[in-house]
Structure 1
Amino acid sequence: MWEKRSGQICPEIHYKDTNQGIVITSCYGIEGQIILPDEIHGVPIVGIAPYAFAENREEEEGVSVWEHEDASLVGKRNRICGTSVTEIWLPAQVREIGRYAFYRCRNLKRLILSDSLLDLGGGALTGCHLEEVEIHFFYGERCCLKSIVDEMRYAIRTKLYYENGMAQVLFPEHYEEAVENTPARILVTHHHGAGGYYRQCFYDRKLDYKKYDELLYHTVAEEQPDVAAELVLNRVRYPYQLSKAAQDAYEVYLREHVEVAADVLITAEDIEGLHFLSLGNYWTPEALEHAVKKATEEKKTEVLSFLMNEKHRCFPKKKKTFEL
């Protein structure tokens, strides 16, 4: 699962040697999709320096330069930082991310890392709009996910690869609003969205799935139906540490909102997810008809083809019979 293709590795890396291992100070290349090697010259990369990917940061003195074996094939290289960064795949043994390491990387959408990292440096993701996080577990179930979601008020979709299974978890958006109570001369903080509750589902840096699953009612009450449907689909499709009681509650919601779930999957062009609805016998004639119409409107040709086949398979038209 954790396999980085040699040709995709960042062509030029500036770094410092420490007693613990290598710390990356900056990267150079032509693409914002940065895949970092796990080691340099046989020495593991253990850290990302403060402000490493922030704009307007002067290069440190006394750094070493490593070039990938295919670096000569890459054209003019520029420092990859700020808005040019779109995705980062961190080294497997990174244990420290310096403060403001990704400061104002506004276009950073995806982060891939391992459970070697348990905490982020202060303000590491300040100014980012991270959307997807993928974590690979090698040592247990502790990781830095709480640090990440605490810094992001936006919705974050996570894929968690454990030794004995995989989970896909949504943390909905949330934000706080200070409203002045003029007569009392105080500010009252209002919380919006169910995401704040889900960001509290951690204990000892582990995601508490039982607590997470108990919050479905908050999502139904405070979020749009498509958010609730996506959250439910994730847990039912990837039932890591999912109790029977929680599964039953999710199943009830999904069967009552299968049309909304289909909309989410169609928009994402997730044919595997639509196939999951078929395998679980979630479809009704009305829901499939709705899905076909949705796919037609959004011009999702491949999705539409799948849905038409499912419509004929699940609910074939009865042959007309004639009596003489």
Structure 2
Amino acid sequence: MIFDTRFSEKESIRYGVVDGTATIVKYEGDEMRVVIPASIDGFKVTKIEPYAFSEKSMKYIQFPDTLEVIDHHGFSECRELLNLDFPDSLKSIGNYAFYNCWALEQVHLTAHIRSIGFGAFKNCEKLSEIVQDKIEGLDISIGSILDDLNQQIHVIVRHLYPDKPVEEARVIFTEHDYEVVANVASMCKQFESTEIGSGKYIRYCIGIQDVDYNKYDGMFYVLLRGDSFDTIITVAMERLMYPYALTLEGEHTYKDYIAEHALEAAKKFIQEDDKDKLTFLVDLGVLDSDETDQAIDLALSLDKTEFTAFLMDYKHRNFSMADESFDL
């Protein structure tokens, strides 16, 4: 605890000085977009104390590239905060640091974060995407967050190299929950819990230093037993589109599923304006002539000119000769 504090009126920040660096004790402003300075009155900012920004109404926050520690409850109850992009300098996020940040949707974790405390993102119910930077030899942090959350999370792992381009892997950790129902057949009042979603099992694929992609792909059958088509087709498509550590067996599994549901997938991508996935689907060659016609009809009915033209061109290039008939 810091007893001797100073106040920067310019930054609306109360801070203390420890070992020659500034530690933020309390933010006293009310800005919707907060920029935490790299230094205050000449002292480098390295730490955020417990509750320093808690219960504030900011939507966006920019961290300095000097910050090393966010202590427990540092941003708890910031219920309008939308996204977090941490600096490479950050090493530690304390317990309940972003607890009850209900509106939080996206988090970018750097490769240098060494620890994330218990409940750091608990009750962040709208969090749907985590971007994890990964450097060989360093541990990843996503497991600490996923342990606290039951909802479906889209994870993008960016494998960084000093001498070649970034390689992305995209995986979905599905939702999981429990439904408690009364057992009406029992003579005495009893309750039974039923698992909802496959997320509990899919989370077992998170390792210390990376996702176990082979294990993840091998559990595709678990998704087939109870998850929605939207989730399953997205998993299959993104593992093929971003095939980091994808085995030949996994590739065949995903392609077989997509081929069986090609028309349904095409309709989904048209309705969602997802040109990238529709293009990839078409390039797989899994749509037959009749399915292509149905996809064209849907695009026409929705007045989606670009999709209509794209599918008609595909139809012309692949099926026009086969569909022609000649009278002899």
TM-score > 0.5, shorter chain as reference: yes
Query: Separation in 2 of the partners of 1:271 and 1:256?
Result: 20
8 Å contact from structure 2 (residues 175, 198) kept in 1: yes
The CA deviation at 1:160 is: 1.1
Query: Separation in 2 of the partners of 1:322 and 1:264?
Result: 39
Q: TM-score, normalised by structure 1?
A: 0.74
What residue in structure 1 maps to residue 5 of structure 2?
A: none
Query: Separation in 2 of the partners of 1:30 and 1:80?
Result: 17
CA RMSD after TM alignment: 3.8
One-letter amino acid of the counterpart of residue 55, structure 2: E
Q: Taking structure 1 as reference, are residues 179 and 88 closer, same or farther at Cα in structure 2, changes over 3 Å only?
A: same
Q: Any unmatched runs of 5+ in structure 1?
A: 1-10, 58-65, 68-78
What residue in structure 2 maps to residue 282 of structure 1?
A: 286
Q: Taking structure 1 as reference, are residues 104 and 252 closer, same or farther at Cα in structure 2, changes over 3 Å only?
A: same
8 Å contact from structure 1 (residues 51, 99) kept in 2: no
What residue in structure 1 maps to residue 239 of structure 2?
A: 235
- Equivalent of 2:174 in 134, 157, 172: 172
What residue in structure 2 maps to residue 115 of structure 1?
A: 111
Q: Note the 1:204-223 alignment, pairs <5 A.
A: 204-223=208-227
Query: Separation in 2 of the partners of 1:321 and 1:265?
Result: 35
What residue in structure 2 maps to residue 94 of structure 1?
A: 90
Instruction: Work out which of the two has the higher radius of gyration on C-alpha atoms and give 1 or 2.
Output: 2
SS at match of 1:240: coil
8 Å contact from structure 1 (residues 54, 104) kept in 2: no
SS at match of 2:131: strand
Q: TM-score, normalised by structure 2?
A: 0.74
The CA deviation at 1:212 is: 0.7
Q: Taking structure 1 as reference, are residues 189 and 20 closer, same or farther at Cα in structure 2, changes over 3 Å only?
A: farther
Matched, 1:199 2:213: no
Range with greater deviation from structure 2 (263-272 or 204-213): 263-272
Matched, 1:249 2:253: yes
**Cα deviation code 1:210-253 (max 9, x no counterpart):** 11111111111111222111111111111111111111111111
Q: Note the 1:120-135 alignment, pairs <5 A.
A: 120-128=116-124, 129-135=126-132
Query: Separation in 1 of the partners of 2:53 and 2:187?
Result: 47
- Equivalent of 2:277 in 273, 282, 288: 273
8 Å contact from structure 1 (residues 93, 116) kept in 2: yes
Task: Give aligned-pair identity as a percent.
Answer: 27
Query: Separation in 1 of the partners of 2:20 and 2:254?
Result: 46
Q: Taking structure 1 as reference, are residues 187 and 319 closer, same or farther at Cα in structure 2, changes over 3 Å only?
A: closer
What residue in structure 1 maps to residue 3 of structure 2?
A: none
Query: Separation in 2 of the partners of 1:309 and 1:268?
Result: 20
SS at match of 1:222: coil
8 Å contact from structure 1 (residues 119, 143) kept in 2: no
Query: Separation in 1 of the partners of 2:284 and 2:262?
Result: 11
SS at match of 2:320: coil
- Equivalent of 2:320 in 312, 316, 319: 316
The CA deviation at 1:46 is: 6.2
What residue in structure 1 maps to residue 55 of structure 2?
A: 55
SS at match of 2:96: coil
Q: Taking structure 1 as reference, are residues 309 and 122 closer, same or farther at Cα in structure 2, changes over 3 Å only?
A: same
Q: Taking structure 1 as reference, are residues 228 and 56 closer, same or farther at Cα in structure 2, changes over 3 Å only?
A: same
Q: Taking structure 1 as reference, are residues 241 and 17 closer, same or farther at Cα in structure 2, changes over 3 Å only?
A: farther
Q: Any unmatched runs of 5+ in structure 2?
A: 1-9, 58-62, 65-74, 162-166
- Equivalent of 2:264 in 245, 260, 267: 260
Range with greater deviation from structure 2 (296-305 or 228-237): 296-305
